[in-house]
Amino acid sequence: MISGMYRKFLVYALLILLPLPTTGWSGDEIVDGKVVYDRECQVCHGTNGMGSDFDWKTPLDGPGLRYPPPPLDYSAHAWHHPDSVLKGLILNGGKDGRMPPFKGKLTEAQMDAVIQFLHSLWKPEQLKWQQEIGQQQPR
C-alpha cells in the first residue's frame, strides 16, 4: 500500500501533469490504476502507456506476424475499444497468448482502476468517442 503522504503527492502530481477528462473519477482511482499499471503492465506497454522501444506497427522477427505490445496512451488504438473489450483483454489475455490473463490475479476494482488510468492518458476527444461507442455496445 501507498502511504498517505505519498498517495497525496501522486494524486496532485497526476492532476497537474495529466489532462483529466471531466468524468467524475477521483484522483485516488487513477492513482490506484497507475500503481497497478506500473506493477503489471508497464514492462510490456511502456511507461505511462507510451509503448516500448519497438515500433508497434512493425512486425518483430520470427515466425508469423508478431507485433510488439501497442502503446495504451493516445498514440495507438486502445481508445478505439469500449471498456468491456479492454476489460476482457485484461481478464482473458490476448488471443495469441502473448498478453497473459490477469483473471484471478487482479481484482475487479484493480482492473477498473487500470482502465480509468488509461482513460486519463487519452485526449478528451478520444475519450468522448470511446465513451460513445461504449454506450452503443450491448451489455
Question: Tens digit of pLDDT for each residue in 88-134?
Answer: 999 999 887 789 999 999 999 999 999 999 999 999 999 999 989 87
In this structure, the number of other CB atoms found within 10 A of the CB of residue 48 comes to: 19
32 contacts: CB under 8 Å, gap ≥ 6:
109, 110, 113, 117
Residue 68, pLDDT score? 83
Assigned superfamily of 4-136:
Cytochrome c-like domain (1.10.760.10)
Of residues 31 and 18, more confidently modeled? 31
Hey, where are the domains in the chain? 4-136
Least confident range from 11-15, 74-78, 120-124: namely 11-15
Residue 67, all three cell numbers: 507485433
Residue 35, pLDDT score? 97
75 contacts: CB under 8 Å, gap ≥ 6:
50, 51
